Amino acid sequence: MKLDFELIKNELNSKARLGKIIYNGQIYETPMFMPVGTQGTVKTLSPEEVKEAKAGIILANTYHLWLRPGDDVVKESGGLHKFMNYDGPILTDSGGFQVFSLAKKKDITEQGVHFKNQYNGDSLLLTPEKSIKIQENLGSDIVMSFDECIGYPATEEYVKQSVERTLRWAKRGKDVFKGKDQMLFGIVQGGVYENLRKYCATKLVEMDFDGYSIGGTSVGEDKKTQYEMVEMSVKYLPENKLRYLMGVGDPIDIVENVIRGIDLFDCVSPTRLARHGHALTKYGKINLKNAKYKKDFTPISNDCDCYACQNYTKAYIKHLINAEETFGARLLSIHNIRYLTHLMEELRDAIKKDKILEYRNEFIKNYFGDKNEK
RNA sequence: UCUGGCAUAGUCUAAUCGGUAAAACGCAUGACUGUUAAUCAUGAUAGUGCAGGUUCGAUCCCUGCUGCCAGAG
């Protein structure tokens, strides 16, 4: 196993925990945030910039790389790390989320999911076995089981049969999985239903995966519901394995779910918000497109050590965004990722000091200010 | 100087065989949670160059003026 996880400590007053991932001699502490690089690149950033923003693991996508350039191309190039020139850990999503976001329900069968190739209209079938095979070809370090991400709301009846199928898919994937240097994660689904979350988690743990993901959140439910789904999933997961909450990246959600025992997060939001002109700050999200920043010659954040904040003003970045210059999206992406990795540093520090609940209160006070938060 | 054409939101254009004007861009605001998303949504702004006339009613028809463009001299 090229990658290892070790639990370091549990926070005294919550479920939060501190851990470390050892990868090629490098140590990455958890909880951590993983930026998304769907197509083998964190949009607008070079690998060096990703590292400079203190990000560790990058998430890439099986479905997209399968269609383009093709996992065979990536394999022949020497694997995804070499292909994209990134020597840090890479996690690949299985394509399960694309089932949710791209395919129609009717296209989901026991065998797998039928897609239309978005580039040429070809009919495609992605199966659990195929997804694992592609991820082996890509050579990522953490591989996801092929699952169905259930939307919200969904009836208990639908969720139940979907969970059963996701479990069968997990088993099928695990059976063909051969990755020697790769970890394979199972994904806990079950919607908002505790009995189903419990069932799914328990069954996955029986199958003994290298780590566990929690899926099916941030699909339209309110925040309180999301936190409950996490609680009812984490409860049944082993202490010594990584727990990854898929797709969650709203700062308050990260804080709340670290408290509930999550180790890994990923989200497109820092990079997407950046491309849309927004910056994350300790005092909330700001929209640099707003006219009030036109002559604001101060950095986005005075106490941020990122390249953007060290060298550029809001007025300049606003100008770049308005002029649709890619450098603007790049600077904001660097900043937003650094904002989240810094948030994780603070959370880990709070765990070390057993003061995570105090940290949460402080965070909410700053981030939401007078606004009635959440 | 003459002849002809044109004049509509910040910009560039559309429309009404006469029934109080539409889009794009820009501007403003908002949304984005395992990326088909440098995307999407919403909103403000003209009373149609100016002065008259005809008409129930004119951006549209008529007259004059102004400005711009083209051709002629």
Q: Which CATH superfamily includes the segment(s) A3-266? A: Queuine tRNA-ribosyltransferase-like (3.20.20.105)
**Residue A88, CB, less than 7 Å from strand B?**
no
Those residues with Cβ within 8 angstroms of residue A269's Cβ, 6 or more apart along the chain or in another chain? A249, A250, A336
What integer pLDDT is reported at residue A372 of this predicted model? 46
- Cβ count within 10 A of residue A360: 19
What integer pLDDT is reported at residue A374 of this predicted model? 38
Q: How far apart are CA A161 and CA A328, in angstroms?
A: 46
Candidates A89, A90, A84, A109; CA nearest to A99 is A109
What integer pLDDT is reported at residue A373 of this predicted model? 42
Pairing mode, strands A26-30 and A17-23: antiparallel
Write the ipTM.
Answer: 0.93
**Residue A62, CB, less than 7 Å from strand B?**
no
For strand B, the positions having any atom within 7 A of a protein Cβ are: 26-40
What integer pLDDT is reported at residue A102 of this predicted model? 85
Q: Which of residues 27-56 of A touch strand B (CB under 7 A)?
A: 36, 38, 42-44
Distance of CA A80 to the CA centre of its chain: 18
Query: Are the beta carbons of A147 and A155 closer than 8 angstroms?
Result: no
What integer pLDDT is reported at residue A371 of this predicted model? 58
- Which nucleotide's C1' sits nearest to the alpha carbon of A92? B34
Low-confidence ranges of chain A (pLDDT < 50): 372-374
Q: What digits encode the pLDDT tens for the residues A273-328?
A: 999 999 999 999 999 999 999 999 999 999 999 999 999 999 999 999 999 999 99
What integer pLDDT is reported at residue A1 of this predicted model? 65
- Give alpha helix (H) positions in chain A: 47-52, 62-67, 71-77, 80-84, 96-101, 128-138, 156-176, 194-207, 223-234, 251-259, 269-275, 307-311, 314-322, 326-352, 356-368
**Residue A233, CB, less than 7 Å from strand B?**
no
Structure tokens at A235: 């409860």
- Which nucleotide's C1' sits nearest to the alpha carbon of A146? B34
Query: Are the beta carbons of A10 and A19 closer than 8 angstroms?
Result: no
